[in-house]
Structure 1
Amino acid sequence: MLHKKEYFEQMVNEPRNPSHWHALYLDKSVPFNADAKAAFLYDSSTKSRQFLYPVVKVFARLSIVLMQLFKVLIPNLINAPKMLHKCLYIGMKYFITPEANFVILRHFYLGSEVLRFIKDNVEGAEEIPMNPLKPLSVSDVKDNLFLEHDLNLYNFIINLNKAIEEKGLKIQKKSNPDYSAITTGEIPFSEFRDGWTNFIDLGTAIEVFTPVYQFYLTDNDFWRATNSLQLDEVIGIYAATIMDCPEKLTALNNKHPMIPLPTAGAAFRLLLHGFSTEVLHAMLVQSKKASGNN
C-alpha cells in the first residue's frame, strides 16, 4: 500500500526554498484523509503534472469541442460503455501512477459511503434503493464503474426527494447521527501496478480520459455525466444539515448546480468533484471519531 505520508513528514524545510506541496500537506485547515492528501500532493508534484499536463490539456479540450460538433449531427452513433471502461481500465493499470489510482478508487468508495450516511439519517428513507460501489482493485473499473457512479448520484437525489415529497420525510439535524456507513480506517485496496510506464499523473489522466469518455457515450450520457459534477453542494448541504454544520461547506460550494457549464472544462471540474468528496468524507470521519463511535 502507498506510504507517501512519510515522504512529506520526513521532508526538511528550506526557509529560502520552501516546498509548496510540503506546506499544503502540513496545513490542516481543510479536513482531508492523510494518506489521500499525501498521495494527491505527491502525484501533483510530478514532472508529468508540471510539463505534460499543460500540453495535453490543450489538445484534450480541443478534441472535446470537435467531438461536440460531430455529435450535434450524430448524437447517438456510438454507445459503448463496456468498451469505454475497458479503455479506462487499461489506461489506469498500465499508464497512471499508483497514487492517482489510489485517489480514483477512493472516490467511488467514499461516494457510496456518503450517500449511505445521508440515507441512514433520514427517518423513513429505508426503502430508497442503493447501489454501493466499493472497488478494491483497478480491475473493478471494467464493471461500468464510472457510469454507475453517475447514475447512483442522480438516482439517489431523485428517489430521496420524491420520498420527501410523497411521504413527508425531512432532512434535518440529528443529535446522534448514525455513522455506521463511514469507514475510519484504511481501505484494503489491492496493490497498484508501479511499472516504468505508470508515470501519468491524475490531472493529465483525467484530461485524456474525458474525450475518450465523450467518444464512447451518447451525447446525452456525456452531458449528464458532466452536469453531475455540479451536484457536490447538494450532497454537502444534505450532510451538513444532518450534522448541523453549514459553516463547514467552504470547500464544497460550487454555487451553481442549476447552471450547466461547457463540457470542455469537465476534466477540471472532475478534480474538484473528487476533492469535495474527500473533504466531506473526512468531515464525517472526524465527527464519527468525536462521537466515540469508531
Structure 2
Amino acid sequence: MTSFNTNITEHPSHDRLNPDAWEALYLDQAIPLDINAKALMIKDLRSWSRNYLLIPIKLIANVLLALIMTFKRLLPFQFSAYKLMHHAAAFFLKHFVTPEACYLIVRHICIGSNVVNFLIDNGPDPSIPRSSLYPRTVDDLAENAFLEHDLILYNFVFDYHQAQQKNPNWLKHVHDRGINYDSIQPVEVEVDLSKRGWFKILDLESAIELFKVFYSLCLTSDEFARAVLSLQFDENFGCYVSAITQNYDWNHVIANRHPLAPNSPFNAARDLFLHGIITEALYRFLEIQKAMSLSPAIANKQD
C-alpha cells in the first residue's frame, strides 16, 4: 500500500525569524504540482544523502562517464546490454534508493505515457500507435521500461510529424471539436513508502548520477547520445500541448530547452532530474485544464 505521510503541515505555525525553506516551498502554489508527488519531492530534497553524498557522487560519476565514453568511442565496434541494464536498474532501485525516489520514477513513466496519449487523442491522426507503458512497481521497470520510454518519445515525434503533413488543418478540427482529456487520469503506483532498509538511502538525483554511468556502459554511443538529447524535447512537447490547449502561460516552467543545441552528457543527470519536475508540472497543468473543461458540464447538470 502507498501511504502519503509527508510530515509537513498544511498551515505550519512557522518561526518568523527562522522560516523553514522547504515548508515554504511545499505550501507555495505558484507552480501547481500534484500535492502527493510534491510532498515526496520535498522529502527527497531534504534527505541527508542529497546534502552530503550528491557532490562526491557527481564527481565520481563524471570521471567514470568520461572514461566509459572515451573507451567506447575508441572501440572499433559498439555493444549494448539492454536486459542487464534494466535488471540492474531495478535491483539498484529496490535495494539502494529511497521509496520516495522509486515512487517518483515509476510515476514519471506512467504520466509520460498519458501525455503522449493525450497528444495522440488531440493530434492530426488519433490512430497512430499509443503508449501502453504503465509500470506499477519497481520490478516492472526491469522489462525494458527505460529504453521503451525513449523509443515511444522518438517514434511519436516521427509519427506526429508525418500525420501533420497529411492533415494540415488538424488543429482547427481539434479546436472545433473540443479537447479530449480522457488520457489524463490518475496513475496507479504500487511502491510501499514505509518499506525502509539500511541501504535504501540514496535520493533521486544521487541515484540518477550513478545510474547514468551504467546507462552509458550498457548502450551504444549513439543510443546514449539519443537518450541525453531526448531530455531537451521537453520544450517541443510543451509547444505541442500549448498549441492544442491554446495556453502558453505555463511554458516558463520548462528548463530543458533548445534540442538543436544539445547539452553535455555530463549534465544528463541534472537534466533528467529537471525533466521529472517539468513533466509533473505539465501533467498538473493538464489535470487543471481537464477540471476546468468539466466545470460547465457539472454546473449544467446541477441546474
Which bin holds the TM-score, normalised by the shorter protein?
Answer: over 0.9
Residue 147 of structure 1: aligned partner:
147
**Contact conserved, 2:103 with 2:191, CA < 8 A, in 1?**
no
Give the distance between the partners of 1:187 and 1:12, measured in 2 at CA. Answer: 34
Q: 1:150 to 1:38 in 2, by over 3 A?
A: same
Give the distance between the partners of 2:76 and 2:15, measured in 1 at CA. Answer: 54
Residue 270 of structure 1: aligned partner:
272
Query: Between Structure 1 and Structure 2, how many residues are aligned?
Result: 292
- Which amino acid counterpart does residue 199 of structure 1 have in structure 2? I
Residue 26 of structure 1: aligned partner:
27
- Which amino acid counterpart does residue 264 of structure 1 have in structure 2? F
Q: 1:12 to 1:83 in 2, by over 3 A?
A: farther
Residue 66 of structure 1: aligned partner:
67
**Contact conserved, 2:233 with 2:259, CA < 8 A, in 1?**
yes
Give the distance between the partners of 1:75 and 1:284, measured in 2 at CA. Answer: 47
Q: Deviations over 1:39-76 (max 9, x none)?
A: 01111101100000011011101111121111111274
User: 172-181 or 211-220, which moves further after superposition?
Assistant: 172-181
**Contact conserved, 1:67 with 1:215, CA < 8 A, in 2?**
yes
- Which amino acid counterpart does residue 219 of structure 1 have in structure 2? S
Give the distance between the partners of 1:79 and 1:104, measured in 2 at CA. Answer: 23
Instruction: Give the drift of 1:111.
Output: 0.4
Give me the TM-score of the superposition, normalised by structure 1.
0.93
**Contact conserved, 2:137 with 2:189, CA < 8 A, in 1?**
no
Give the distance between the partners of 2:119 and 2:85, measured in 1 at CA. Answer: 31
Instruction: Give the drift of 1:130.
Output: 1.9
Residue 251 of structure 1: aligned partner:
253
- Which amino acid counterpart does residue 87 of structure 1 have in structure 2? A
Instruction: Give the drift of 1:261.
Output: 1.6
Give the distance between the partners of 1:75 and 1:145, measured in 2 at CA. Answer: 29
Q: 1:6 to 1:164 in 2, by over 3 A?
A: same
Identity %: 34
Deviating above 6 A after TM superposition, structure 1's stretches of 4 or more consecutive aligned residues are none
Is the aligned partner of 1:80 residue 2:84?
Answer: no
Give the distance between the partners of 1:201 and 1:229, measured in 2 at CA. Answer: 20
Q: 1:206 to 1:272 in 2, by over 3 A?
A: same
Q: Determine which structure has more spread, i.e. the larger CA radius of gyration.
A: 2
**Contact conserved, 1:76 with 1:219, CA < 8 A, in 2?**
no
| Other structure's SS at 1:254 match | coil
Instruction: Give the drift of 1:188.
Output: 4.3
Residue 301 of structure 2: aligned partner:
none
5+ residue gaps, structure 1: none
Residue 111 of structure 1: aligned partner:
112
Give me the TM-score of the superposition, normalised by structure 2.
0.91
Residue 236 of structure 1: aligned partner:
238
Give the distance between the partners of 1:121 and 1:12, measured in 2 at CA. Answer: 45
Give the distance between the partners of 1:282 and 1:12, measured in 2 at CA. Answer: 28
Give the distance between the partners of 1:195 and 1:94, measured in 2 at CA. Answer: 8
Give the distance between the partners of 1:199 and 1:107, measured in 2 at CA. Answer: 20
- Which amino acid counterpart does residue 292 of structure 2 have in structure 1? A
- Which amino acid counterpart does residue 226 of structure 2 have in structure 1? R
Q: Deviations over 1:235-259 (max 9, x none)?
A: 1111111111112211025331211
Q: 1:102 to 1:10 in 2, by over 3 A?
A: farther
Residue 292 of structure 1: aligned partner:
294
Instruction: Give the drift of 1:6.
Output: 4.7
Instruction: Give the drift of 1:21.
Output: 1.0
